[in-house]
């Protein structure tokens, strides 16, 4: 995550130091836009090699007041990392300074671990030395509006805001201590998180540019508390209609609430990894 933040800081500093004459031309609408011919619509296919880490605690709000242990995804649940995450992203230009952005990705992480001690999840107690199987299913849809008040042949810098819809599910199965039989359950939430952020691009020449963005916010909706931060930065190459990029993305998410089945949960997760992009600019 530090790597992505440093790259993004360099991007912002570079854009802030754009020649004053160039910014003045952009303000007057006189800046030359060399990419205008291929700057109306873009679609990209991304491949994100993301590692999933963090902690989760799932309890059961029943008459016994069932409480869950706080578990580490890598050490105590054996989640397999990293996973390849395919993503589709696109944007369309609405006037010179405005764009609409959309994206979608989905991923499933699985883990299996022989328990060194008893574990409580969702009001169930799983026995020591039994195999606990877990899975996390995670998908995200984004729809954002981007406004770039600073825009010329040297790059752009702007604000973006909109919403991100999360669908998150945690499933688990193991040998229950009392009955000694396999028990399984799951906790799931769908939630819409409003976000706001900063995004920019610095043109280095010969079709190469440095890009970066940061967005996030917290929300309290229908009994859920959620917050997230999305940071990404990298290098892009554009030649006529072709686009390629290599960067690093990290997404930090915190969730707290109760699902429809009465299970209460609290979690803090992080996705981190390299992001490869190919696409078309039209």
Domain residue ranges in the chain: 45-200+259-282
Task: Provide the 8-state DSSP code for 30.
Answer: -
Tokens at 75, concatenated: 């050490």
Looking at residue 16, what is its pLDDT?
A: 47
Q: What are the residues facing 155 on neighbouring strands?
A: 152, 202
Residue whose C-alpha is closest to residue 73's, from 105, 2, 121, 106: 121
Residues of the chain with confidence (pLDDT) below 70: 1-38, 60-67, 221-223, 260-262
| Tens-place pLDDT, residues 94-103 | 988 999 999 9
Looking at residue 166, what is its pLDDT?
A: 84
| Tens-place pLDDT, residues 196-221 | 999 999 999 999 999 999 999 877 76
Residue whose C-alpha is closest to residue 4's, from 198, 250, 183: 250
Looking at residue 1, what is its pLDDT?
A: 46
Looking at residue 26, what is its pLDDT?
A: 42
SS3 69: coil
Q: Which residues neighbour 30 within 8 Å (Cβ) at sequence distance 6 or greater?
A: none
Tokens at 133, concatenated: 């199987």
pTM greater than the 0.75 cutoff: yes
Looking at residue 276, what is its pLDDT?
A: 98
Looking at residue 25, what is its pLDDT?
A: 43
Residue whose C-alpha is closest to residue 271's, from 253, 254, 256, 255: 253
Looking at residue 137, what is its pLDDT?
A: 93
SS3 content of the chain, % helix, strand, coil (to 5): 10, 70, 25
Looking at residue 219, what is its pLDDT?
A: 73
Residue whose C-alpha is closest to residue 276's, from 99, 82, 109, 120: 82
């Amino acid at each position: 995550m530090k790597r992505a933040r440093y790259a993004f800081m360099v991007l912002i500093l570079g854009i802030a130091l754009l020649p004053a004459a160039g910014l003045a031309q952009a303000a007057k609408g006189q800046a030359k836009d060399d990419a205008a011919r291929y700057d109306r619509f873009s679609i990209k296919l991304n491949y994100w090699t993301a590692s999933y880490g963090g902690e989760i605690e799932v309890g059961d709000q029943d008459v016994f007041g069932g409480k869950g242990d706080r578990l580490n995804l890598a050490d105590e649940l054996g989640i397999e990392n990293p996973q390849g995450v395919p993503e589709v992203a696109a944007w369309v230009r609405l006037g010179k300074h405005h764009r609409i952005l959309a994206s979608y990705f989905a991923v499933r992480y699985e883990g299996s671990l022989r328990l060194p001690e008893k574990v409580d999840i969702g009001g169930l107690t799983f026995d020591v030395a039994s195999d606990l199987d877990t899975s996390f299913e995670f998908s995200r849809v984004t729809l954002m509006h981007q406004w770039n008040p600073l825009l010329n042949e040297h790059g752009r810098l702007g604000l973006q805001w909109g919403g991100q819809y999360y669908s998150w599910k945690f499933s688990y199965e193991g040998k229950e201590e009392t009955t000694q039989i396999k028990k399984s359950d799951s906790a799931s939430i769908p939630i819409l998180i409003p976000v706001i952020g900063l995004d920019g691009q610095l043109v280095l020449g010969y079709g190469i540019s440095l890009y970066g963005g940061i967005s996030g916010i917290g929300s309290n909706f229908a009994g859920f508390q959620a917050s997230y931060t999305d940071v990404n930065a990298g290098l892009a190459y554009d030649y006529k209609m072709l686009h390629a990029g290599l960067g690093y993305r990290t997404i930090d998410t915190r969730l707290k609430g109760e699902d429809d089945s009465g299970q209460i949960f609290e979690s803090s997760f992080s996705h981190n990894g390299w992001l490869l992009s190919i696409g078309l600019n039209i």
